[in-house]
Amino acid sequence: MLRPAGARHARLWADPGVSPGTGRSMIPLRKIALSLCAALALPACQVAQMQVAPSLAALDAVPVSGANPRKWNAPLAFGPWRSEVAYEGMKWDFALPLLGLTAGYATQPYRVVASMGGDPIQAECHARALTLSRSNLSVDPAFGKLPAFACAFRGRGDGTLRLHATALGQETGTLDYGDTRWELSSVHRFQGSSVPSGPPLGYELTGGGRVVAAVEVINQGRVWLDPAVSPRDQERLAVAIMVLLLYDPAAGD
């Protein structure tokens, strides 16, 4: 039997017109401000930040508004880009006993519409998770072959985003518009520390052998976007960044 993650959350997430005003009652680890202290061998406590790729290090980070703290279905914005729609649908999950194991499935839809002065770009996305578990051990029965997060884009050409989770906790995939393709990967590097994070701190998009865009999903959120990228591709990358800012793994909580 399908069941929502929580009755209150189900009602709010299912109705884009409802605004609780206080944001999420529980914020996943990957979206909160982490603290770097003695465990990361830093001289003093400081707010954790993602280490940016050298190709973007000379750029000023663009702060994000609307990502964290997150209010359901509120707009996302950074630099000249702003969403007209940023919708997080109801999260559903279920568990079923199976030959001494527990089979689990979870899914959550997302929708983003953004316009940068022309026709809007639309993104329809789903986060999904399959698990087989016993006691405290859990595995992905698809062994990462099914994407944990998948999107279809319309506008500026048709595109797809596919993000796969690996056994080591990393996420890799692609953003593909046919005429242009970027490699997508999670970032686990803290600035100023050699100790990696468990959950992703953000994501990088690589094209032509170098990182051309990055987004930090912890703290308030920050974005780097190479100005040498064409205006059309900047719009494509910006909308992909918006869905990554919304995305939470379907197996979370």
Note whether residue 251 is domain-resident. Answer: no
- According to the model, what pLDDT value does residue 70 have? 87
Note whether residue 253 is domain-resident. Answer: no
Note whether residue 50 is domain-resident. Answer: yes
Q: Which amino acid is at 155?
A: G
> Which residues, 6+ apart, have CB-to-CB distance to 235 below 8 Å?
81, 114, 116, 121, 156
Structure tokens at 41: 């061998």
- According to the model, what pLDDT value does residue 21 have? 32
Q: What is the dihedral of CA 115, 117, 118, 124, to 10 degrees?
A: -10
Q: What is the dihedral of CA 249, 213, 62, 239, to 10 degrees?
A: -60
- Whether residue 63 contacts residue 78, with contact meaning beta carbons closer than 8 Å, is answered with yes
Note whether residue 76 is domain-resident. Answer: yes
Q: Enumerate the β-bridge partners of residue 204.
A: 185, 214
Q: 102-113: buried (b, 16+ CB within 10 Å) or exposed (e) per residue?
A: eebbbbbbbbbb
**Neighbouring C-beta atoms of residue 216, cutoff 10 Å:** 26
Note whether residue 252 is domain-resident. Answer: no
Note whether residue 16 is domain-resident. Answer: yes
Residue 221 CA to residue 58 CA, distance in Å, equals: 18
Question: Residue 144's domain spans which residues?
Answer: 3-246
Note whether residue 8 is domain-resident. Answer: yes
- Work out the angle at residue 78's Cα, subtended by the Cα atoms of residues 73 and 80, and round it to the nearest 5 degrees: 115
pTM listed for this prediction: 0.77
Note whether residue 149 is domain-resident. Answer: yes
User: What string of pLDDT tens digits covers the 253 residues of the chain?
Assistant: 222 233 222 222 223 333 333 333 334 444 444 444 434 444 455 678 999 999 999 999 999 999 998 888 899 999 999 999 999 888 777 676 766 677 766 788 999 999 877 789 999 999 977 665 666 655 555 555 667 899 999 988 899 999 998 877 789 999 999 999 999 999 999 998 888 888 899 999 999 999 999 999 999 999 999 999 999 999 999 999 999 999 987 444 4
Residue 223 CA to residue 94 CA, distance in Å, equals: 35
Domain count, the chain: 1
